[in-house]
Chains A and B, each alone.
Chain A
Amino acid sequence: MSAASDVIIVGGGLMGSSAALFLRGHGLSVTLLETDLIGRQASGTNFGNVRRQGRPIHQLPLANRAIDIWRRSRELLGADVEYLQSGHIRVCYRERPELVGSMEEYADKARAEGLDLELLSGNALRDKFPFFGPDVLAGSYSATDGHANPRLAAPAFARAAERLGAVIHEHTQIIDAQKIGEDFVVSAADGRTFRAPILLVTAGAWGNALSSQFGEPVPIVPRGPNMSVTEPVPYAILPAVGVMTPVEEETVYFRQVARGNIVLGGSTRGPSFPDQYRAYVEPQNTVSQLKHIRRLAPALGKLNIIRVWSGIEGYLPDSQPVMGPSATTSGLYYAFGFSGSGFQIGPGVGETMAEIIAKGATDIPIAPYTISRFATG
């Protein structure tokens, strides 16, 4: 006996939860299956950047769609996910003056896509943001980006979807999916089966396990973000801040939440273990992160961190997700492998996937994300 619906979604992160909500908006019945609890891995443990700048230009229409959802998230979700449109700034260091040119070039292209960036150099930057250290050369400021709380976001989308009639099964580990006749039959480890003519895989680092069952393996690598948070201090830092650099270890970022804590991220990603459902922060990565945070904003050196964490993220070799229809199987859709950059676009991904499934097309460019780019032979 299988439970039937119009759409089965496997993976209860931000992508799956928001897709469930928007699919209900199109009137389709939805069953969302999650191995553990909604939003506990990449969606719940990331930095919380609601940042458009720095994304590939071809991704800005999707990011713009998402920002619209973030802005009305409180009404849409009936919950506060601590979205703050408090700005985002990317900076580069003195020893890489060539990056100023890259920032200018990016700003020109972004403007054409509706994202306005203000370039600030030298002391103008420190006048506006006095916490920057002397090594910071220039910055690109986006007033309309910001941040939100990852711990709260995906669960809030899932609860909103559930209120609109989506059926959500947590603690449901899917071990097999097949297309039998017109329907997908999806089996859980405990023997339950679910049936629907449409299957959407939003399983993050676990996505390849399902896509492989349909002859579409992808070279996904599980990693974990390197996160820390300070004790609370008076709220003073409005924008989220990040470093633009080709050196991974220098790539740190921070944001202050209204409660006062400063969330720190980046430097080096850690190992994660999808089979054990665990990810660990390597102590050396914490030490390296704090070193580069001190360089970016020396005054933060006076604070303490009170907690570090990580989660399981799926990375693809070109850092772009798999998003769109399957190339082998009709009725099968994918949205996974967001490579550590999925949080901001997440609700836009959900809305776009719902649109593709319900209407068969979307104006959002998704060609760069086709799964067939990994097809061999």
Chain B
Amino acid sequence: MAEPRIIIVGAGPAGTRAAEACVQAGIRPIVLDEGRRDGGQIYRRQPDNFTRPYAKLYGTEAPRAQALHETFDGLKDRIDYRAETLVWNIADGHVRTATRTMESALPFDALLLCTGATDRLMPVKGWQFAGSYSLGGAQVALKSQAVSIGHKVVFMGSGPLLYLVASQYVQAGADVVAVLDTAPYSARIKALPDLLAVPSVLWNGVALTLALKRAGVMVRNSVKPLEILGNAEDGVSGIRFRVGDGAEQTIACDAVAMGHHLRPETQLADLARCAFAFDPVTRQWLPERDGDGRSSVAGVYLAGDGAKILGARSAEASGRLTALAALGDLGLPVDKGEMASLRGDVGTYAKFARGLATAFPWPAEQAGTLPDEAILCRCEGVTAGDLRAVMQETGAKEANRAKAFSRVGMGRCQGRYCGLAAAELIAAQADIPVEQVGRLRGQAPVKPLNISIGDTDA
């Protein structure tokens, strides 16, 4: 029998541990990575000629980052690693890739999607001005290029990344003006029982907040963002918000990093025709999978934050578990006891993740009250008022229908950054549950694809 063809998409914590399990089973998997180097987002590696130490780059997670990178380095000769490679489509048992203008069709027996996450964003009036970044983007600037997104930076939104990135900026010497958390402090208390599932991570989070306060950073809870001030020429100049029902406040700044925790990158699962289900806790549509990561499509497996946001530690466990499931399905011997233990680990992290979702809730109501003049879809320049007017005129209240008529989610990002907020706005406007709005259908290419693709002379 020929060696099974296993393709792993992504080289973050899930993809790395999945590749490791394959290699240990004697298989040489193909690992496809959009990044220039392995590590993914959370353990993103700095360029070769940068020399910052692990402790400085990854803080409390330095040992994990280092272990993961060393594992990957050890695998390099035993895997087919293709960096800077976009998976732009999946069809008929083949993954279609683009590396610059080179196009390839790669057949697979098992496809492990370890696609990771991107920021979940809630639009705020003015978020299109230069100087507005996602939390993840702000972190990439720091981790990869050792630069700050501005001179005076405000962090706004919710979720663990809010505090993590803000503290990383403080440590790097940036002027962090404020951390504005939309979640009420009481939500964290409510979430404690679940958060205690992983006490060390909970403690890290508490320590980050304390460190921020010690550094003199203004930290506010129950924030209602009103507007990112600025103009198209000069970019961001400040931020206007309220704390609870208090008076409006304005803070001067030249950059804002925003985000509300994360959302899984599920487009490839969609193109692979996996079934999706609505998750009421996070108010997101997630690809269905069994406890070991099998999707609804035979031969397609899902692991890590690309399937559901459970965090980097869980991603390592689920990456390995899912690879073992795939190897077992391909008829290779796997350690059932290890799989049971990994399932237990993933379950513990799932409890913690539920706690995070409770502690840092997605402020769905903010979409419904977005002022008409606020831009909702930045790619296409569609305002909240445009979408409401289209709904009024056409009666559209399904996500894809609203997109067809209004262009919301029709641009370069295919709704990855505005789609969740647009769905909440539609739900609020139509007075229906957000799950009834549905989800935007994924369409290839998952990222912009050069027309010169396949041109060998280019």
* A contact set with B: CB distance below 8 Å: 37, 44, 79, 151-152, 155, 159, 230-231, 259, 280-284, 286-287, 290-291, 293-294, 300-309
Contact = CB atoms under 8 A, between A and B. Distances in A.
A152 B453 CA distance: 31
Contacts of B444: 281, 283, 286, 307-308
A266 B273 CA distance: 24
Contacts of A304: 448-451
Contacts of B92: 282
Contacts of B404: 44, 151-152
Nearest to B92: A282
B249 interface: no
A283 B449 contact: no
Given A37-B401, A44-B404, A301 B96 contact: no
A231 B451 contact: no
A293 B448 contact: no
A301 B455 contact: yes
Contacts of A287: 103, 453-454
A283 B410 contact: no
Contacts of B453: 287, 290
Contact of B394 (A155, A259, A308): A155
Contacts of B105: 283-284
Given A159-B394, A283-B94, 11 more contacts: A37-B398, A231-B411, A282-B91, A290-B452, A301-B451, A301-B452, A302-B452, A306-B414, A306-B445, A308-B443, A309-B443
Contacts of B452: 290, 294, 301-302
A306 B443 CA distance: 9
A259 B454 CA distance: 28
Contacts of A281: 444
Contacts of B412: 231, 306
B451 A290 contact: yes
A286 B271 CA distance: 15
Interface in B427-450: 443-445, 448-450
Interface string B395-409: 000100100110100
Nearest to B394: A155
Contact of B451 (A230, A280, A284): A230
Nearest to A280: B91
Contacts of B458: 301
Contacts of B448: 231, 304-306
Given A159-B394, A306-B414, A283 B89 contact: yes
A304 B101 CA distance: 11
Nearest to B414: A307
Closest 6 CB pairs of A and B: A304-B448, A283-B89, A301-B452, A283-B96, A151-B404, A287-B454
Contacts of A155: 394, 405
A3 B407 CA distance: 36
Given A283-B89, A306-B448, A291 B454 contact: yes
A165 to B, nearest CB: 17
Given A151-B404, A283-B105, A286-B89, A305 B414 contact: no
Contacts, number: 78
Nearest to A282: B91
Given A152-B405, A305-B445, A306-B412, A283 B91 contact: yes
Interface of B: 88-89, 91-92, 94, 96, 103, 105, 380, 393-394, 398, 401, 404-405, 407, 410-412, 414, 443-445, 448-455, 458
A260 B410 CA distance: 13
B449 A305 contact: yes
B296 to A, nearest CB: 15
A180 to B, nearest CB: 34
Nearest to A289: B451
Nearest to B94: A283
Contacts of A306: 411-412, 414, 445, 448-449
B383 to A, nearest CB: 15
Nearest to B444: A308
A327 B312 CA distance: 67
Given A286-B89, A307-B443, A308-B443, A300 B451 contact: yes
Contacts of B405: 151-152, 155
Contacts of A283: 88-89, 91, 94, 96, 105, 444
Contacts of B407: 259
A351 to B, nearest CB: 23
A302 B89 contact: no
Nearest to A309: B443
Residue of B94, B401, B443 with highest tally of chain A CB at under 10 A: B443
A306 B89 CA distance: 12
A92 B150 CA distance: 54
Contacts of B91: 280, 282-283
Contacts of A300: 451
Contacts of B410: 307
Contacts of B398: 37
A79 B92 CA distance: 41
A291 B455 CA distance: 7
B64 to A, nearest CB: 36
Nearest to B98: A287
A3 B412 CA distance: 45
A290 B454 contact: yes
Contacts of B89: 283, 286
Nearest to A310: B443
A290 B451 CA distance: 6
B84 to A, nearest CB: 16
Contacts of B96: 283
Contacts of A290: 451-454
Contacts of A293: 451
B442 to A, nearest CB: 10
Nearest to A270: B91
B297 to A, nearest CB: 14
Nearest to B89: A283
10 contacts: A230-B451, A231-B448, A282-B92, A283-B88, A284-B105, A294-B455, A302-B451, A303-B450, A305-B448, A309-B443
A283 B444 CA distance: 9
Residue of A159, A280, A304 with highest tally of chain B CB at under 10 A: A304
B232 to A, nearest CB: 17
A305 B451 CA distance: 6
A307 B321 CA distance: 34
Nearest to A39: B404
A291 B412 CA distance: 21
A201 B310 CA distance: 51
Residue of A155, A230, A305, A306 with highest tally of chain B CB at under 10 A: A306
Nearest to B398: A37
Nearest to A307: B443
A152 B452 CA distance: 30
Residue of A231, A287, A302 with highest tally of chain B CB at under 10 A: A287
A155 B398 CA distance: 14
Nearest to A308: B444
